[in-house]
């Protein structure tokens, strides 16, 4: 690669506004950056310089942020006396909507579009890499609201983070990832019991949020459900009548089936029946 030669005609080109390089993101450096962006009309905010200063000071002390839903940062019991730091999901949505008018606007638009239905919450989970838990695209538990506009759903960086849990901690919990997830779901239900109050454009609404499922890759789905992978004869945990290999019984279908109505859906009764049958078939010899 050759270095680009200085353009002789460059002087005639229209000049872009210059934004000075900020060497470190300290509180004051961040404030300088934001003020400079604002000066150049690149930051769309109604906040005054003083309000920005206050917001940065407040947001840098994340441990102390309190909301009507409790502290933003909380310790969650994941089982076996293991506690991890989590971002309280309702407090997180409330706080983001408080510090960002844009986010509040998105939440309000989602609530308006959903009408009386709750917003659909998705938990995105991916495998954790010990020693590298902050890898950009992995190792995080993120939340998304399926009602978010596409430009936010397409960028996981826009999804609020719930927790980063190390594998070494998960391995100490009975049933591993699925044991942790059980606690996560039990944590979420009361967390969203009162919905989230969002104020935007002179209106305040209570946004209700309901868990709508996990988003994960195959391995993580297997971990979350703690039952099986896709390689078994029955390859789907949701569709009990899909048989990948082996002899089909009445009502079974194969992977070639394209008719959606043919796929059976697993229900609680079947799950409990499987649990009972497994419990009945386990002997001390197996343990």
Binding site for Zn ion (CB under 5 A): 236, 238-239
In whole angstroms, the minimum distance from the beta carbon of 263 to Zn ion comes to 6
β-pair type (203-207, 73-79) = unpaired
By beta-carbon proximity to Zn ion, the closer residue of 47 and 264 is 264
By beta-carbon proximity to Zn ion, the closer residue of 56 and 122 is 122
Among 220, 213, 43, which residue's Cα sits nearest to residue 120?
213
By beta-carbon proximity to Zn ion, the closer residue of 169 and 239 is 239
In whole angstroms, the minimum distance from the beta carbon of 216 to Zn ion comes to 15
In whole angstroms, the minimum distance from the beta carbon of 260 to Zn ion comes to 10
Q: How far apart are CA 281 and CA 287, in angstroms?
A: 11
In whole angstroms, the minimum distance from the beta carbon of 213 to Zn ion comes to 13
In whole angstroms, the minimum distance from the beta carbon of 237 to Zn ion comes to 7
By beta-carbon proximity to Zn ion, the closer residue of 35 and 257 is 257
In whole angstroms, the minimum distance from the beta carbon of 178 to Zn ion comes to 18
By beta-carbon proximity to Zn ion, the closer residue of 99 and 239 is 239
In whole angstroms, the minimum distance from the beta carbon of 235 to Zn ion comes to 8
Residue 145 dihedral angles phi and psi, to the nearest 5°? -105, 120
By beta-carbon proximity to Zn ion, the closer residue of 164 and 239 is 239
For residues 196 and 69, the answer to whether their CB atoms sit within 8 Å is: yes
Q: How far apart are CA 89 and CA 143, in angstroms?
A: 8
By beta-carbon proximity to Zn ion, the closer residue of 56 and 236 is 236
By beta-carbon proximity to Zn ion, the closer residue of 161 and 239 is 239
Q: How far apart are CA 63 and CA 65, in angstroms?
A: 6
Q: How far apart are CA 108 and CA 125, in angstroms?
A: 26
For residues 74 and 92, the answer to whether their CB atoms sit within 8 Å is: no
In whole angstroms, the minimum distance from the beta carbon of 218 to Zn ion comes to 12
């Amino acid at each position: 690669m050759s270095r680009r030669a200085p353009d002789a005609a460059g002087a005639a080109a229209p000049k872009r506004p210059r934004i000075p390089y900020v060497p470190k993101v300290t509180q004051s450096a961040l404030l300088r950056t934001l003020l400079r962006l604002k000066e150049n009309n690149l930051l769309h905010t109604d906040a005054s310089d003083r309000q920005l200063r206050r917001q940065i000071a407040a947001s840098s002390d994340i441990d102390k942020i309190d909301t009507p839903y409790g502290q933003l940062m909380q310790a969650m019991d994941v089982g076996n006396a293991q506690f991890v730091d989590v971002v309280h999901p309702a407090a997180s949505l409330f706080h983001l909507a408080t510090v960002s008018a844009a986010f509040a606007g998105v939440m309000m638009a989602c609530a308006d579009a959903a009408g009386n239905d709750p917003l659909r919450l998705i938990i995105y989970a991916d495998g954790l890499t010990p020693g590298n838990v902050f890898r950009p695209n992995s190792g995080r538990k993120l939340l998304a609201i399926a009602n978010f506009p596409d430009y936010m759903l397409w960028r996981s960086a826009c999804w609020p983070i719930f927790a980063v849990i190390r594998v070494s901690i998960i391995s100490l919990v009975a049933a591993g990832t699925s044991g942790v997830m059980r606690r996560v779901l039990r944590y979420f239900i009361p967390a969203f019991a009162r919905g989230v109050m969002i104020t935007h454009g002179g209106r305040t609404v209570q946004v209700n949020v309901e868990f709508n499922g996990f988003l994960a890759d195959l391995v993580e789905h297997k971990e979350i459900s703690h039952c099986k992978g896709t390689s078994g004869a029955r390859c789907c945990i949701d569709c009990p009548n899909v048989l990948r290999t082996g002899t089909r019984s009445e009502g079974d279908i194969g992977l070639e089936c394209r008719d959606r109505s043919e796929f059976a859906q697993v229900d609680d009764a079947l799950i409990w029946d499987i649990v009972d049958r497994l419990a009945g078939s386990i002997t001390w010899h197996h343990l």
